[in-house]
Chains A and B, each alone.
Chain A
Amino acid sequence: MVILEAVDLHKRYPVRGTELIVNAVNGVSLSLAAGETLGIVGESGCGKSTLARLLVRLEEPTSGQVLLDGVDLGSLSDRAMREQRRKIQLVFQDPYASLNPRRTAGQTLGEVLAVHGLGGDAKGRRARVYELLDMVGLRRSFSERLPHEMSGGQRQRVGIARALAVDPRVILLDEPVSALDVSVRAEIMNLLGQLRDDLGLSYVFISHDVAMVRHLSDRVGVMYLGRVVEAGPWKEVVDRPLHPYTLALREAVPVPDPRTGGELQASVSGEVPDPAQPPSGCTFHPRCPLAEEACWTDEPQLELIRPDHHVACHVVQREHGPA
């Protein structure tokens, strides 16, 4: 059962002072099934953060639709949108910026409950706040703490509790552990996994950390300059990628093992081009070792290559043929 769907989303921003336009999200479609975790990987300029904002309706897409439980979010009144908001929440990357510095954890969580009429009276809300803190592994005493009296990991837990407070069906995790100390990340990742299993949540997990995405996701999509270039089951996309960019990405991920053979070499040359002036045809072609004539002129579309595994690359499509 599909709980979240994006249909041909586009988001364009004009570049101030010029005639140029940035296609931050350039025709992205995806679907998330209930209980599923969809991982999205990509580097700067790929549009994953913009995509996240479109999915939670922090911004309106230039074109395309976001369907939450079958409901087109773009067609809703403000009032109706507010109701729908309970279903999809967001956990932010920076634990230092994601909480109001002047509110205690208890006040932050309590306010969410009050605004949505959850928890009943003040006493009931207080009980629910303690319950939420408990769910994310924080003691009750934390409800009296201000953000600057908590560590990064603790703040992140409060952010997770806040997202859970409205009983969502989908949670968008935008780099949830990237800003945390390395020795703290495992605990938070495990918490996220456990909450997902206990509460039957669906996740969209956005990160540049391929190893973490592999760990948590059922399906993975790879983005480059506003488009999805490869999508499929985690094992396929991360361990057996087909798109040259995904290959380069995987190759570049540092492996904590000095015995990994061979000379240390760059996995791909060049840099991500200016999104306001993208290359013609396949936007990856200037950096692609497999680039052919067609790649300069024709933009490749996602095609099914292997079961459930889509790739947008002329060369791959030709060599593997349609599934």
Chain B
Amino acid sequence: MTEPLLQIEDLVVTLGARTGDHDIVHGISLRVQPGETLGVVGESGSGKTLTMLAVMRLLSPPLAMSRGSIRLEGEDLAALSESEMRGVRGRKVAMVYQDPMTSLNPLMRVGDQVIEAMTAHGVDDDEARRRALETMARVELPDPERTSRAYPHELSGGMRQRALIATALANDPTLLIADEPTTALDVTIQRQILALVKHLSDEFHMTTVWVTHDLGVIARLVDRVVVMYGGYIVEDAPVDQIFHAPQHPYTKRLLASLPNPADDSRPPLAQIPGRPPLPSESIEGCPFRPRCQEAIESCLTLPSLEPRLEGAVACWVPPERWG
């Protein structure tokens, strides 16, 4: 079994508040294999973004990683000094965010930002210039020469996102983390970006983590899916199993609540009562318990993530016993 590219063990992210410290991510573990595309799915309060920020060591007070380890290619990221970590950020691990308008420097030409991504890591100017144009062509930006001279506000949303992806890929990172990069985009543009990332991922054997709240977006994009809820991982399985044989009631109900495009009778949607827990709320036992139809007495005790079929699930009640 090859060594995972990214290995997160028992990660706890804590928020220090005036009224006392509070855990937001509750000891999660996951592995990403080299070349794999992983989808991390969760709603608000699931902890998915904080987990990625922890990987990048970008958590700032009052948030902090209070327990656990994060290893990139076997190396413990927490043990690195800040300047060593800077060498990792943007070079070994790159992150693409939701809003390219705020993630790109509005006062700097787009091409210069792609160049800066490289020169900040020691690449010389001429080499960086050359590679910048190459990368911009790779992300299918039309007329890279001309586009590189544009400012972010002069570009459309989709082009800005491509530019952002270019800055992320400029240094050929080992790992690309994309945090809701298409959420703010129109659906046709979203499709373009998804196709682009999939294509790049396949062509360059990139390892990618795709973070989103939209299950549909990742269905055809990823190899494996991790479902997060209330700061816990509730299910971790290959993509086909997640969609066709979900083992956790939350995953199942979430999928079932979507309108079925093949059903002409258009029945009322399979709704889920209640709402996701806020980071400030503590729930006894399983975080999904208050909303779960299958909840039993044991659910007052937090279930651990156990292997089932081709993945893992954190639930005391197997699908056979669901009502």
Taking the closest CB of chain A, its distance from the CB of B228, in whole angstroms, is: 13
Interface pair A254/B257, CB less than 8 Å apart: no
Residues of B within 8 A of A265 (CB): 195
- Proximity bits, B213-227, A CB within 8 Å = 1, else 0: 111110111000000
Closest B residue to A252 using CB positions? B191
Q: Which residue of A lies closest to B221 (CB)?
A: A264
Cα of A5 to Cα of B216 in the assembled complex, Å: 35
- Per-residue contact bits, chain A 204-230, to B (CB 8 Å; 1 contact, 0 not): 000010111011000000000000000
Near A by CB (< 8 A), chain B positions 124-163 give 156-159
State which of A190, A193, A212, A235 has its C-beta within 8 Å of the C-beta of B264: A235
Q: Which residues from chain B contact A264 at a C-beta distance below 8 Å?
A: 194-195, 198-199, 220-221
Interface residues of B, CB < 8 Å — how many? Answer: 50
One of A108-116, A128-136, A178-186 at the interface:
A178-186
Q: In whole Å, how far is A269's beta carbon from the nearest beta carbon of chain B? A: 8
**Which chain A residues lie closer than 8 Å to B18 at the CB level?**
none
The yes or no answer to A105 lying at the interface (CB within 8 A) is: no
In the assembled complex, which residues on chain A have CB atoms less than 8 Å from the CB atom of B187? Answer: 43, 208, 210, 249, 252-254
Q: Is the pair A187, B259 in contact by a Cβ cutoff of 8 Å?
A: no
A44 at the interface (CB under 8 A from B): yes
Pair count A-B, CB < 8 A: 130
| B residues in contact with A251, CB < 8 Å | 191
Cα A96 to Cα B258 with chains together (Å): 24
**Which residue of B192, B199, B255, B276 contacts A256 across the interface (Cβ within 8 Å)?**
B255
Measured in the bound complex, the distance between the Cα atoms of B269 and A258 in whole Å is 21
Q: Is the CB of A182 within 8 A of B43?
A: yes
With a cutoff of 8 Å between Cβ atoms, the chain B residues found around residue A258 in the complex are: 219-220, 239-240, 243
Contact of A190 among B186, B199, B215, B268 (CB under 8 A): B268
Write out the residue numbers on chain B whose beta carbons fall within 8 Å of the beta carbon of A235.
Answer: 264
> Is B254 on the interface with A (CB-CB < 8 A)?
yes
Query: Does residue A268 face the partner (Cβ distance < 8 Å to B)?
Result: yes
Q: Kindly list chain A residues whose C-beta atoms are within 8 Å of the C-beta of B159.
A: 271
Q: Which residue of A lies closest to B41 (CB)?
A: A182
Q: Enumerate A252-311 residues with CB–CB distance to B below 8 Å.
A: 252-260, 264-269, 271-272
Given contacts A183-B257, A264-B195, contact A256 B243 (CB under 8 A): yes
Number of contacting residues on A, CB 8 A? 45
A272 to B187, CA, bound (A): 12
Please, what's the 1-or-0 string for B194-216, where 1 marks a CB less than 8 Å from any CB in chain A? 11101100000000000001111
Q: Would you call A195 an interface residue if the criterion is a C-beta within 8 Å of the partner chain's C-beta atoms? A: no
Query: How close is B209's CB to chain A, nearest CB, in angstroms?
Result: 17
* Cα(A69)–Cα(B126), bound, Å: 68
Measured between C-beta atoms, what is the minimum distance from A271 to chain B in Å? 5
Smallest beta-carbon distance A113→chain B, Å:
28
What residues on A are CB-neighbors of B244 within 8 Å? 259
Across the interface, A181 reaches (CB within 8 A) one of B43, B198, B255, B273, namely B43
Q: Is A315 part of the contact surface with B, judged by Cβ < 8 Å?
A: no
Given A252-B187, A257-B219, A257-B243, A211-B261 contact (CB < 8 Å): yes
> How far does the Cβ of B217 sit from chain A's closest Cβ, in whole Å?
5
The distance in angstroms between the C-alpha atoms of A264 and B200, with both chains bound, is 12
Q: Which of B156, B255, B266, B276 contacts A271 (CB 8 A)?
A: B156
Q: CB-CB < 8 A to A151: which residues of B?
A: 275, 278
- The residues of B that contact A187 with a CB separation of less than 8 Å are 271-273
For the complex, give the distance between the alpha carbons of A234 and B264 in Å: 10
Q: Which residues of A contact B243 (CB under 8 A)?
A: 256-259
Q: Which residues from 231 to 257 on chain A have a C-beta closer than 8 Å to any C-beta of chain B?
A: 235, 239, 248-249, 251-257
- Which residues of chain A are within 8 angstroms of B158 by Cβ–Cβ distance? 271
Chain B contacts for A316, CB-based, 8 A: none
Least CB distance from A158 to B in Å reads: 14
**In the complex, residue of chain B having the shortest beta-carbon distance to the beta carbon of A209:** B187
Q: Which residues of A contact B270 (CB under 8 A)?
A: 186
Residues of A within 8 A of B198 (CB): 264
Contact present for B269 and A215 (CB under 8 Å): yes
Does A189 belong to the interface (CB within 8 Å)?
yes
Known contacts A252-B187, A258-B239; is-contact A181 B213 (Cβ 8 Å): yes
Write the chain B residue with the least CB distance to A287.
B188
Contact check, A215 vs B266: say whether CB atoms are below 8 A apart.
Answer: yes
Query: A183 is contacted by which of B216, B221, B240, B254 (Cβ under 8 Å)?
Result: B254
B186, A260: Cβ atoms under 8 Å? no
Query: Residue of B at shortest CB range from A274?
Result: B156
Point out which of A181, A183, A272 has the most chain B C-beta atoms below 10 A from its C-beta.
Answer: A183
A271 close to B189 (CB less than 8 A): yes
Which residues of the partner chain A approach B190 to less than 8 Å between Cβ atoms?
252, 254
The answer to the question of B253 belonging to the interface, with a C-beta cut-off of 8 Å to chain A, is yes
Chain A nearest CB from B205 CB (Å) reads: 17
**Chain B contacts for A259, CB-based, 8 A:** 240, 243-244
Nearest 4 pairs of A and B residues by beta carbon: A254-B216, A186-B269, A43-B186, A252-B191
Known: A189-B269, A254-B217. 6 other contacts (CB 8 A): A182-B257, A183-B254, A184-B276, A252-B190, A271-B157, A272-B186
Q: Which A residues contact B (CB, under 8 angstroms)?
A: 43-44, 151-154, 181-187, 189-190, 193-194, 208, 210-212, 214-215, 235, 239, 248-249, 251-260, 264-269, 271-272
